[in-house]
Amino acid sequence: MPDVKFISKDGTEARTVTLSGPLFETEPKGHVIQEYVKGFLRNQRQGTASTLNRARMKGGGKKPFRQKGTGRARAGSNTSPLWTGGAVVFGPTPKDHYSRLPKALKRNALLSALSMCVKEGNFQVVELPDLPEAKTKHVTAFLKKLGLYDKRTILLYDGKNDNLTIASRNIRNFEVKRAELVNPYDIMRHERVLATEQGLEKIKETFGNG
């Protein structure tokens, strides 16, 4: 059973926390994570790119100039793709990129991502600093104590601290998220994953650890 550091609000290592169960002890499967991440990013696409082909363009009904006698190449319409401002050939059209990801895939990818994060020593349990007001400087100071201010970091918590959420919005490379909403992509795109004790319990409660 792996042990991870518990960091107190003053930035020092207070003790260790033992993690057990498949959420943190699964043998990481890179291909499962890759399949989930590709599907997740595909589902984020808007698919609204659209161009005008000849059928959708207005105008072009009148011949631009007579067929012979001008010395120019013959032309039948100013909507021709050869003309500046003309139609686009084989351009993008609106498309729905969504595809449903199986629940088992998401769960297996999450188990692999969390287990890999713990195995590589990038997962820590933290005690949040006192935040009497929603000021960015308090969260910034806390991250600097942890040596994580310049690293891509995500903090998972129980969602019961509005000051934390507001104070963290303007910090570059730092994301705060409710623990029950975490997904494998969140884990993989950050260098460090922090979780409060309450957030850790939320993860176990939501995704199961049996």
Give the pLDDT mean for 61-67: 93
pTM of this structure: 0.81
Same domain, 67 and 168: no
pLDDT band at 1 (very low <50, low <70, confident <90, very high): confident
Residue 14 three-state SS: strand
Structural domain tally of the chain?
A: 2
- Same domain membership, residue 51 and residue 41: no
Q: What are phi and psi for residue 60, nearest 5 degrees?
A: 80, 5
Chain-wide mean pLDDT for the chain?
A: 91
Q: Specify whether the CB–CB gap between 128 and 92 falls below 8 A.
A: no
Helix (H, G, I), strand (E, B) or coil at 41: helix
Instruction: Indicate whether 47 pLDDT > 90.
Output: yes
User: Is the domain of 102 the same as that of 78?
Assistant: no
Residues 74 and 69: their CA atoms lie apart, in Å, by: 10
Q: Are residues 102 and 187 in the same domain?
A: yes
Range(s) of the domain holding residue 129: 3-45+98-207
Task: Give the domain CATH number at 39.
Answer: 3.40.1370.10
76 and 155 share one domain: no
Question: Does residue 210 carry a pLDDT above 80?
Answer: no
- SS3 call for 45: coil
Statement: residue 148 has pLDDT above 70: yes
